[in-house]
Structure 1
């Protein structure tokens, strides 16, 4: 690593050590200040490759930090879910109170726009799954209310409490409420028959924090989803990989990767659009090989032309150029 990357790792390690000493990660002035400092340190573009951190201690720190971020994020969402449900007849009309609501609007718009461009049938999907929805399922709600207005969303979360909180948020809304279902189940235990019903599956960034766990989840989805169904995966790039897991192309075996977008603004997550290959005449699937990048050309610009990555087509696009 160069000096710039070493200084960044040192700063993030110092913030991590401060966060680790906190007795509680529930929203508070101290918690909010530390995580704000962390996010501001990770947002700027950085050449750092978190998979190549120099020693096991740094990798362990990163893994622990992602888990702490996930815990804090869950507590923050739980706090605002209860606040909104307790104080408003229709909480969905007051989501602007959540401090990161604008980020969810931008991320959901990006995901929908990429889907519309690369999987033309996806915007008209009737059944959509969101895996890892949490107590404040903003992504599902924004997608359902603003973009996929005919779809029914099936939200998966391990926590019965989180699902109960989410139900309280949507039940009063005449439009979104009837189109939201919540399942308290590990998606790894969902049957192939169940998953095959979904035309689009969204995979939250914190489902499968460790790489091996993420790969197992993706493999289960690849084995279960119907041919032609779309998978939307949230990842991270550069220093943002200290906040969320990084998904590599080889982690998506069984899918065609159609597009990759790395935001350069306050939206933290990268977005990957993939598809279960359509069935062939012989009953199998037309699978493109994954994990080979010979001949790929990565241009140092915000909006890149289509690139060849062996048989994969990967596109990096600017958010403002996508359709609404």
Structure 2
């Protein structure tokens, strides 16, 4: 996967937008065929077929969707795209592909990290590392975590890159929660391969375990689901533990990036008030939102 040239030829070129504001119905008509063509393309793959693809081919397929999500387009255009009936009908398939891609991609990366004698160099060489680093650097500025405090991350996955980079760049200690036991075990091995087992704990379980864990701040992964259940449990836990002033950070998708994954909805975070929102720059996917308990 690390042999893929990130500087590839884009299927949707700027030439197609000559004389267009990139924020109108005409823009939608230009973009729609590319989105529908991608949807048609991924319909030929079930999950088993995707997992059977060579890593480089899997990544090249991802880049087609990635280009669409990171178009330099106006905010109104994203609303038009998501509301267009044919595109809206295809979104579940597109978003399911995106989730599956990252599931496969992170397992591939975990296997690479565990099979090399130079895991840090391997981690830094994979194509998406600059995005993760940019996202985490932005969040380090937002967290304002006191020295000695601890972050709890819900949905850490097989390669808990956020926790790894938060510790690597800012010395932040953490605990990662992962609901799948096999994934949690793999994540624990990855942390150990990087020599961070004293800084990062990986626990098998969901957000309800936070009642009995040591933490000061919470981060909810973009792909941790279902959000409504997670935030409902967090609301109860914050009240039961007396941590009613604790910040809950969560990642979501906004603008064109919402084609990748359903954004966190207002009713998902019932009982919380948004106190800050920080939009992504460059090829970073996630908007970072800060929430606190109502009242």
TM-score, length-normalised on structure 2? 0.80
2:190 alignment partner in structure 1? 169
Is the aligned partner of 1:239 residue 2:266? Answer: no
Aligned equivalents of 2:253 and 2:80: distance in 1?
Answer: 10
Question: What 5-or-longer segments of structure 1 have no aligned partner?
Answer: 117-121, 277-286, 289-324
- Whether the 8 Å contact between 1:237 and 1:270 is mirrored in structure 2 is yes
One of 23, 28, 50 as aligned partner of 2:55: 28
1:155-304 matches, within 5 Å, as 155-174=176-195, 176-187=196-207, 190-191=208-209, 193-194=211-212, 197-208=214-225, 213-225=226-238, 226-276=243-293, 287-288=294-295
Looking at structure 2, the residues matched to 50 and 69 of structure 1 have their Cα atoms a distance apart, in angstroms, of 21
CA contact (8 A) 1:92 1:170 kept: no
Q: Which has the higher helix share?
A: 2
In the alignment, the residues of structure 1 paired with residue 43 and residue 212 of structure 2 have an alpha-carbon distance, to the nearest angstrom, of: 40
Question: Structure 1 runs of 4+ off > 4 angstroms?
Answer: none
Change (3 A) 1:51 1:214: farther
Secondary structure in 2 matching 1:49: helix
Compute the TM-score of the two structures, normalised by the length of structure 1. Answer: 0.73
Q: Deviations over 1:75-120 (max 9, x none)?
A: 11100111111112x523531122101111100111121222xxxx
Kindly tell me the number of residue pairs found equivalent between the two proteins: 261
Counterpart residue number, 2:17: none
Q: What does the per-residue CA deviation read over 1:273-306, in whole Å, with 9 as the maximum and x for residues that have no partner?
A: 1223xxxxxxxxxx34xxxxxxxxxxxxxxxxxx
Q: What's the offset of the Cα at 1:137?
A: 0.9
